[in-house]
Structure formats: C-alpha cells, structure tokens
Amino acid sequence: GLAVPAAITVSLGRAAQSGLLIKGGEALERLATVDTIALDKTGTLTEGRPRIAAFVLAKTATLPAPTLLAAAAAAERLSTHPLAQAVVAYAAGQENLPVAPAIEDLITLPGTGLTATIAGHHLALGNAALLTAAPAPELLATPDLANATPLYLLIDNIPQAVFFATDELRASAPAAIAQLNALHIHPVLLTGDIA
C-alpha cells in the first residue's frame, strides 16, 4: 500500500528537478497512454534567441528603410516576444536611424504580431496573417532563408518591408524527437510562424 504512493512522489519530485511539472499521480499514470505530444518551437526546440538575418524593403514602401526600422523598433520595444527583441537588436545595430515618433494604441495580437499608431499612421508588424494578399515576390524568402520566420511590416495596410528571423536549433532537439518517435509518440509543433 505504500510502494505506489512513494513511487509516485519520487517520480513527481524527479520530474520537477528536470523542469517537468506534473499535476499529481493521476496525470502521471495517464502518461502511459500518450501517443501525441505538442511542443512549443521557440525556446523548446530552438535556442529561443532569434536574430534578424535579413531586412528587405518592399517595392510598395512609402518610407525609407531607416525610418521603417526606427518605427518597427519603437513598436517592438513595447513587446517581450523573442522576435520583437530580435527586431530591436537589429535596429540597434544600424547606423543613422531617425528618432521614431511616439507609439500609441499598441495592441498585441497573440500568434500574429502587433498593431499600433505611429505619427498618425497605422503600423502592423507580424506574420502573414496581417497581409490582405499574398506577399510580393521581393518579400518571399530566398533559398538561404527558407527556414526563416518572416515578419511583415505594414504602414496603413501597405507592405513596407519584411524581416527574416532565424533561430538556432537546440543541439538536443533531434535526439529528443528521435526518442519520442522510438516511443511511438507523435510530436506536433506549436508555432505562430511558418515552420
């Protein structure tokens, strides 16, 4: 009568030490029947430190690149998302950026991006869900950026530019996925971006 509760207590404690929180013995027992597991991409399978690998201006851009970079960084400074931090870091590494006007009415759109008002104009920055049409050819990833996450910058619903963010795969990720497959557990990727 004491062996099972003791084993469950030890298992829960050991799992917690490894960063895995399990809500009680019943949940632990139900793990034996799991056949699918959902994994977050950023920070779980990847290092969680994305960087901007490229910034491409759209042919429809109505503002110069430095102004767009300053506006994007000003909006993203108000976000804690790792991709937002990558945009801010990229802009900080550029020279001669103008001072961006104040950001107003910032709205975070979970899984999509953000919108804000800047100098009386509607700014949107995020994934393809913000676009009203397919991206223009110049805003598509080149083969070397095929695995990059595009972040589209729009001003007044007109595409201005795209940031391509990349993140390094964790060294342990392929082995972890292989172990799940060996256990006949199907991994599913949860991500707000393209892959």
Q: Output phi, psi for 150, to 5 deg.
A: -80, 140
Long-range Cβ contacts of 104-108 (<8 Å, 24+ apart): 106/75, 106/78, 108/79
Q: Which of 9-23, 44-58, 91-105 has the lowest mean pLDDT?
A: 9-23
Query: To the nearest whole number, what is the mean pLDDT of the chain?
Result: 90
Measured CA to CA, the distance from residue 52 to residue 60 in angstroms comes to 21
Q: Which of 66, 63, 58 is nearest to 133 (CA)?
A: 58
pLDDT digits (tens, 9 = 90+) for 26-55: 888 888 888 999 988 878 888 989 999 999
User: Is 156 a known active-site residue?
Assistant: no
**Which residues share a beta bridge with 125?**
114, 153
pLDDT digits (tens, 9 = 90+) for 137-194: 989 999 999 889 999 999 999 999 999 999 999 999 999 999 999 999 999 988 766 5
171-193 burial code (b ≥16 CB/10 A, e <16): eebeeeeeebeeeeeeeeeebbb
Catalytic residue (choose from 35, 40, 156, 193): 40
Measured CA to CA, the distance from residue 123 to residue 126 in angstroms comes to 10
- Start-to-end Cα distance in the chain: 48
Is residue 64 within 8 A of residue 45, CB to CB? The reply is no
Query: Which ranges of 24-183 does DSSP label H, i.e. alpha helix?
Result: 24-30, 65-76, 82-92, 173-182
Is residue 137 within 8 A of residue 56, CB to CB? The reply is no
pTM assigned to the model: 0.77
